[in-house]
Amino acid sequence: VDVIHDEVFYGSTALKNVVLPNCEFSLGEHVFYECSGIETVTFQDKTVIKELSGSLFAGSALKEFVVSKDNTNYKAEGNFLLNKAGDTIVLYAVGSVDEEITIDEKYKHIGPSAFSGSSIKQLTILNSDTTIGDGAFQYCENLETVILPSEGNIVVGNNAFANTTAISTIKNMSS
């Protein structure tokens, strides 16, 4: 498998557990969008996502990433899928019930579409040198408040907060 194209499993409500291919591949937009039954996504030894975009798991019940101990690219920590170094949030389990997310200082990057479609209401970013990927928080329709460091060099990607219609407050930590 080289590519799983856009919307391949869109709306497949019977899917419960997804085991991704044991190779390098790309994921198109909305591949698992509205797959309300998905709870677990497994990364095998050689699973590597070369490229991803769009709201991959929006509308799912995804609560857990399972990563093989032999995978040299990723690890799971809480509701996050991280790169092996642990400084990049690749994906967030959008079916989690977290209303407030604090992204602490150890995280330097938030990947493209990482939180897309999640139900978080408040986001706090502590690292003043964080890079927010393209579409990272798009379609987070419940997101009301974003709190950023008062100083630093936050880089915000294209459409990072697109279609987050509930945002009413963006502030820095000193206010």
Q: Residue 62 and residue 67: Cα distance in Å, rounded?
A: 14
pLDDT at 172 over 80: yes
CB-neighbour burial class of residue 165 (10 A; exposed 0-12, middle 13-18, buried 19+): exposed
What's the pLDDT at 97?
87
CB-neighbour burial class of residue 70 (10 A; exposed 0-12, middle 13-18, buried 19+): exposed
What's the pLDDT at 174?
65
Tokens of 95: 């079916």
Q: Residue 104 and residue 84: Cα distance in Å, rounded?
A: 17
- pTM here is 0.95
pLDDT in tens, 35-50: 999 999 999 999 999 9
pLDDT at 175 over 90: no
Q: What is the DSSP letter of 48?
A: E
